[in-house]
A and B are shown apart, each in its own frame.
Chain A
């Protein structure tokens, strides 16, 4: 991991990787969602709304994995002072927040015809909403710290503390009696029929690759902006 902490070396790898992740992600997302919309049968209980699963599960995964990434990058920033770690954490924050919002919105749209309600204050839904607020707070904190010329330590500490919410989200369906169903896919197998399940891993992989491409693009933009600022400072000092 330390090898990639050098921005020049990172850019050497990130430039080709951005395109690869973006195109592979786009193709898999179109294949997964297209298959989920057209090729799979409706569920015997949920009917057509089961197709929302192919959006809802990947966005939930990315919302949670995104914060996991922020926590790891924040830890690296605090412990090893890697110049790229803070940039990576800040680059993940916005897409993580967007996918958390997509998860909440698609879940709500699914809930109306299935549960008869747009929203229910149950453990899973509420802890996911808390994750969205934590993302927004992190973005605001990191922005404010950068404006004041800080080194990103407060945002990094917040990034690590916020990880507490992830096990709460994961185990919420076991700890509390909730409207949200329990785990349908586990290590040992799935309770979802194969004819309905197959587009899910395709969409999941696709959205993950697309998320990686978005994060890489945001990291490259942040690095380029830093380079411009440093050069302008040097030019100002020389003049």
Chain B
């Protein structure tokens, strides 16, 4: 039994989850800070 499919699955899962978490946090931060800045200017 080749072990590589298990290794690739683990890397894809961990990489995907970490990347998604990072990007979602970045987008949410930008959106919230832009909203706060926009309200300050009004």
Contacts and interface: CB of A to CB of B under 8 A. Distances in A.
Interface of A: 18, 22, 29, 33, 37, 47-49, 51-52, 55-56, 59, 94-95, 98, 101-102, 105-106, 109-110, 112-113, 207, 210, 213-214, 217-218, 220-222, 224-225, 227-228, 231-232
Contact of A220 (B7, B9, B10, B33): B33
Q: Majority SS of interface residues in chain A?
A: helix
A221 B27 CA distance: 9
Contacts of B40: 231
A37 B11 CA distance: 9
Contacts of B7: 37, 48-49, 51-52
Q: Majority SS of interface residues in chain B?
A: helix
A19 to B, nearest CB: 10
Interface residues of B, number: 26
Nearest to B34: A224
A4 B13 CA distance: 36
Contacts of A112: 6
B22 A106 contact: no
Contacts of B6: 49, 52, 109-110, 112-113
10 contacts: A22-B22, A37-B7, A52-B6, A98-B21, A110-B6, A221-B29, A224-B33, A225-B32, A227-B39, A232-B39
Interface in B1-42: 1, 3-4, 6-7, 9-11, 13-15, 17-18, 21-22, 25-26, 28-29, 31-33, 35-36, 39-40
Contact of A48 (B3, B25, B26): B3
Nearest to B1: A113
B39 A231 contact: yes
Contacts of A213: 22
B29 A102 contact: no
A214 B21 contact: yes
Contacts of A227: 36, 39
